[in-house]
Amino acid sequence: MPINITMPALSPTMEEGNLAKWLVKEGDKVSSGDVIAEIETDKATMEVEAVDEGTVAKLVVPAGTEGVKVNAVIAVLAAEGEDVSAAASGNGAAPVAKAETPKAEAAPAAKVDAAPAAAPAAAKVSAPASSDNRTFASPLARRLAKEAGVDVSAISGTGPHGRVVKKDVETAVAGGGLKPAAAAAPSATAPAPAAAPLAKGPSDEAVLKNFAEGSYELVPHDGMRKTIAKRLQESKQTIPHFYVSVDCELDALLALRAQLNASAPEKDGKPVYKLSVNDMVIKAMALALRDVPEANVSWTEANMVKHKHADVGVAVSIPGGLITPIIRSAETKSLSAISNEMKDLGARAKSRKLKPEEYQGGTTAVSNMGMMGVKNFSAVVNPPHATILAVGAGEERVVVKKGQMVVANVMTVTLSTDHRAVDGALGAELLGAFKRYIENPMGMLV
């Protein structure tokens, strides 16, 4: 029987994804565990492995397709000994759907391939649109169109099923005659398709009426920005935030960091680690949660979730938003291990190659804007965490010691807490433990 390959749910909250690339073609034989496609989620590009063995009979969803619903059929495999053409055409036995794939969900993917193949000339006239008037275009084509200031929906597509591809954008830009993206704004003579308003937010029309026509550009929200907006709005609306700030002296920490980096062993002529202040902040936060376990919690309506390890998420800025890769059981790891792991996670975060388990969950988070020169700020709690530490820049300040004014390196940190789980006194205790490790960093080496 033919075997359906469906769009996988790569995270608990994933509802749809973009089929970025096929790594197989029709007629290829695949085995269980073979990487067959790349799927783009809101925050990462994931490789998808085959679960079954067989021959690729049909690629139902073309590469570059956006907004493919979870559990929609994206390809069909012919089982061993089965006629490939029969499996592709559906003339054989009914395809075996995965147990978790609702039959109703298979319909959207089938429509993607149902575009009339017998009318190639029509495909060159205009790019096809889905039922919601969304133009089909590859991610690269969309980016190039945006950079060139052209409306991708006005470009004729020559890709599969009329999809707008890189070549089409380049041709359109060279030929001119296209409206700038800004011209897609609503006007009396050429109304644009109505944009869906933000949930509980102002509509495009309500905002744009305050600006002169032609003085702005409409940039559609991508999946990452929508997810960030939804989660942070939910956080501020449902979590009672409470903030505690403290100043930490850094002189001892900076001296120890310099000493540890100078003594790092080398491999192939390079040091095996190079500690940053942020690495030591991560370790100090993890140890503070170990010392104050009542603060290493998550709130649920029925229970207080008490975590056994400090899994510290670290905010990393990437194009279009941010992501928080997680250092698991950070309280048990050496500074060098945290440093090297963070470098790897940060690099893969920027290229959107993190696996969901590498950025989902966690018990707390650290957001460091000190390297950007920010002195003090308050971060938004990221559920299911109950705490997040905002780290400001270290700077020379005049402090008083034993009645004498001296200059010291000082940074301000602010702990945001979910007051349902970590109240003011407990937050102050946690922040006090963190301050002790920062100002007495030898304790992090024990």
Task: Identify the H or E element spanning 299.
Answer: strand 297-299
Preceding omega of 160 cis (within 30 degrees of 0): no
Question: Do residues 97 and 4 touch, judged by C-beta distance below 8 A?
Answer: yes
241 is catalytic: no
Helix 277-291 to helix 251-262 angle, to the nearest 10 degrees? 120
Q: Which amino acid is at 150?
A: V
Query: Alpha carbon of 366 to those of 232, 378, 381, 417: distances in Å?
Result: 16, 11, 10, 12
Is the torsion defined by CA of 313, 316, 321, 323 positive or negative?
A: negative
Q: Which amino acid is at 53?
A: E
Q: How far apart are CA 380 and CA 388, in angstroms?
A: 7
CA atoms lying within 13 Å on the CB side of residue 65: 27
Torsion of CA 193, 197, 202, 208, to 10 degrees: -20
Q: Which of 344, 353, 427 is nearest to 388 (CA)?
A: 427
Question: Which candidate in 161, 307, 385, 419 is catalytic?
Answer: 419
Question: Do residues 136 and 65 touch, judged by C-beta distance below 8 A?
Answer: yes
Q: How far apart are CA 267 and CA 374, in angstroms?
A: 35
Q: How far apart are CA 163 and CA 116, in angstroms?
A: 13
Q: Which amino acid is at 15?
A: E
Q: What is the per-residue DSSP string for 415-432?
A: EEEETTTS-HHHHHHHHH
Q: Which of 347, 365, 345, 374 is nearest to 357 (CA)?
A: 345
Residues with Cβ within 8 Å of residue 201, at least 6 apart in sequence: none
What are the phi and psi torsion angles at 283 (to 5°)? -65, -45
Instruction: Give catalytic residue positions.
Output: 419
